[in-house]
């Protein structure tokens, strides 16, 4: 069975057009490699861009959305599989359990929540799935500094930083995924 990649990203496009371009390129890249997309099922913002590009390139997508977000995130109805959950916690679990790797594109509080949950799970040994931050336009540099600060202040072991790989662009992301998913 082909690998699947969970993509966390914004339900908005963000200020810089580079984010939207990276989201579309990520969707195409995943499909080109035959990897399935697992994402939040929305058809808005970067989420929608990743999914539309992925499907247009022939990829198979699993969307997971809690019922209360249907109107806000405009759930895509033409996905290969759509799972409707009762809660956000259930959504995150279903997305994680159906993926072989995690990719985080630019996003807001929801993307950060998803990232920190899978990072925490990795830190306490609940999984060994690779976690990639697509640092397009340097978006995640403040997060990198925060993680370094957490380690420097002894609130986490230095190994924390080894659980996250920052990649500068979609090409580097594809190369990293090829290595980890082979």
Number of domains in the chain: 1
First and final CA of the chain: distance in angstroms? 12
Residue 137 has pLDDT above 70, yes or no: yes
The Cα–Cα gap between 64 and 62 comes to 7
Q: Which two tokens stand for residue 150?
A: 């957490």
Model pLDDT for residues 10-34, shown as the tens digit of each residue: 999 999 999 999 999 999 999 999 9
The Cα–Cα gap between 109 and 148 comes to 20
Confidence band, pLDDT 50/70/90 cuts, at residue 124: very high
Which one has a higher pLDDT value, 37 or 79? Answer: 37
Q: What is the pLDDT of residue 68?
A: 86
Strand partners, 85: 66
Confidence band, pLDDT 50/70/90 cuts, at residue 73: low
Range of the domain at 118: 4-181
Q: What is the pLDDT of residue 69?
A: 81
CATH number of the domain residue 44 falls in = 3.40.50.450
């Amino acid at each position: 069975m082909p690998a699947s990649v969970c993509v966390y990203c914004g339900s908005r496009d963000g200020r810089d057009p580079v984010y939207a371009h990276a989201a579309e390129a990520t969707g195409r890249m995943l499909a080109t490699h035959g990897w399935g997309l697992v994402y939040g099922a929305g058809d808005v913002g970067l989420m929608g861009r990743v999914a539309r590009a992925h499907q247009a390139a022939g990829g198979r997508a699993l969307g997971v959305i809690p019922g209360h977000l249907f109107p806000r995130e405009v759930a895509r109805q033409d996905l290969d599989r759509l799972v409707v959950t009762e809660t956000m916690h259930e959504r995150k679990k279903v997305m994680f359990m159906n993926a072989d790797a995690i990719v985080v594109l630019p996003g807001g509080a929801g993307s950060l929540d998803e990232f920190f949950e899978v990072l925490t799970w990795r830190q306490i040994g609940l999984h060994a799935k690779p976690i990639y931050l697509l640092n397009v336009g340097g978006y995640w540099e403040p997060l990198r500094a925060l993680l370094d600060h957490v380690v420097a202040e002894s609130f986490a072991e230095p190994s924390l930083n080894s659980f996250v790989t920052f990649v500068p662009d979609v090409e580097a992301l594809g190369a990293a995924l090829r290595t980890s998913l082979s």
